[in-house]
Amino acid sequence: MASSFAPPPSRRGRGAVANLESRFSEFRREVDETRHESDMAHETEVKFVTQVALETARTIISRNTSSDIPFDRSINPYRGCEHGCTYCFARPTHAYLGLSPGLDFETRLYAKTNAAERLDAELRKRGYQPALLALGANTDPYQPIEREYGITRSVLEVLERFGHPVGITTKSALVTRDIDILSRMAQRGLARVFISVGTLDAEIARKMEPRANTPPKRIEAIHKLTQAGIPTGVIVAPIVPALTDFDIERVLTTAAQAGATYASYTMLRLPREVHDVFVEWLETHYPMRARHVMSLIEQVRDGKHNSAEFGTRMRGTGLHAELIRQRFLLAARKLGLNQARPPLRNDHFRVPDRPETPQGSPGGSHQQNRARQTGADAADTINGKVDPQMPLF
């Protein structure tokens, strides 16, 4: 796939090293070999700056039927992600917008400003049955622009009002801003948080996840969340053979010391354009390791660079994948992680009166009549011992 290489000054602080063509685009990019020299001669520096477009979503709850993830619905407040993680499996979604899964994905973002309003409407639909709703299944709900837009917080406010269970995955310490909401929900068995920490190596993390919080900040977030009574876990993700796999035990130990009680992991996945983004990044930053890393990836992906099969795509196959699984299980067992995972509850779900509808006006009693209890036996079905292959919640 053709790409337009971006010189280091233009992409400082970004993850991808180029802008891949969208597979749906009618246009083709060609490298201007003289652009960088011309800019230098004129003492100018062109940078990829973050641009945010406001989007009015028609629907907000996404559904899935994947057999290897423990939820069937999720919310993504943003399209694209400023964290710039080179391995992000969501990068190909930018191609549907006619944009590049490379630098465009981390610099041209979309904020769904009406997310809370749409969520309120969808939860009020007749016949809606509550079940675990995931935040962070695609792009990070606490990426840097959340500080300005606060869409994720507004979504949590709606979920709290309805008594709806939520599971959050993030690599941002900004999640601690919402401890007030999350702690109240956790007291009712409605909230759980997973913090993603692939490595504690500061240099690797800075290059691989340039605008995400540093690993120590994420570990500190685990401590703050658990101190507030919010069930919190760590996801060692992604495990990159010969680059971050040395750090599995150290991540688990540090997270457990901070208070994490759950843990999971995922093997690196390279679907569609993610493959080219990651390989270009790897060859740019770790040229001496690149061949070895890709060789091991082939070993855990049946000779390929990616596998999409349910049941194996998250952990890989083969001897090397099995060794990683055994290392993870042994470390988690020694640290007392994953002893049990109390299910999130569905029986607190209620459809509240609309704030703008006076109690005695037409429609108010109708909303009250629609309030319902689904029963304690309708709680989340993930019970007992935790499967470490399940990446979330």
Task: Give a yes or no: residue 357 inside a domain.
Answer: no
Q: How many domains does the chain have?
A: 1
Task: Give a yes or no: residue 256 inside a domain.
Answer: yes
How far does Cα 16 stand from its chain's mean position?
A: 18
Higher per-residue pLDDT: 187 or 7: 187
Task: Give a yes or no: residue 85 inside a domain.
Answer: yes
Whichever domain contains 127, its CATH number is 3.80.30.30
Which sign, positive or negative, has the C-alpha torsion 289, 292, 298, 303? positive
For residue 24, pLDDT over 80 is answered with no
Task: Give a yes or no: residue 330 inside a domain.
Answer: yes
Higher per-residue pLDDT: 2 or 115: 115
Task: Give a yes or no: residue 342 inside a domain.
Answer: no
- For strand 191-196 and strand 232-239, is the pairing parallel, antiparallel, or unpaired? parallel
Task: Give a yes or no: residue 389 inside a domain.
Answer: no
Amino acid making up residue 253: T
Higher per-residue pLDDT: 343 or 12: 343
Domain range for 244: 43-335
Higher per-residue pLDDT: 91 or 30: 91
Percent of the chain predicted with pLDDT > 90: 61
Task: Give a yes or no: residue 234 inside a domain.
Answer: yes
Give the least confident one: 41-45, 68-72, 230-234, 361-365: 361-365
For residue 202, pLDDT over 50 is answered with yes
Task: Give a yes or no: residue 80 inside a domain.
Answer: yes
Q: Which pair of structure tokens corresponds to residue 232? A: 């919190």
For residue 87, pLDDT over 60 is answered with yes
- How far is Cα 51 from Cα 150, in angstroms, rounded to an integer? 17
- Looking at residue 342, its pLDDT comes to 83
- Looking at residue 69, its pLDDT comes to 72
Q: Which pair of structure tokens corresponds to residue 217? A: 């900040």
Residue (of 266, 268, 269, 263) closest to 393 by Cα position: 263
- Looking at residue 18, its pLDDT comes to 73
Q: Could you read off the pLDDT of 269-305 as tens digits, one per residue?
A: 998 889 989 999 999 999 999 999 999 999 988 777 7
Higher per-residue pLDDT: 188 or 378: 188
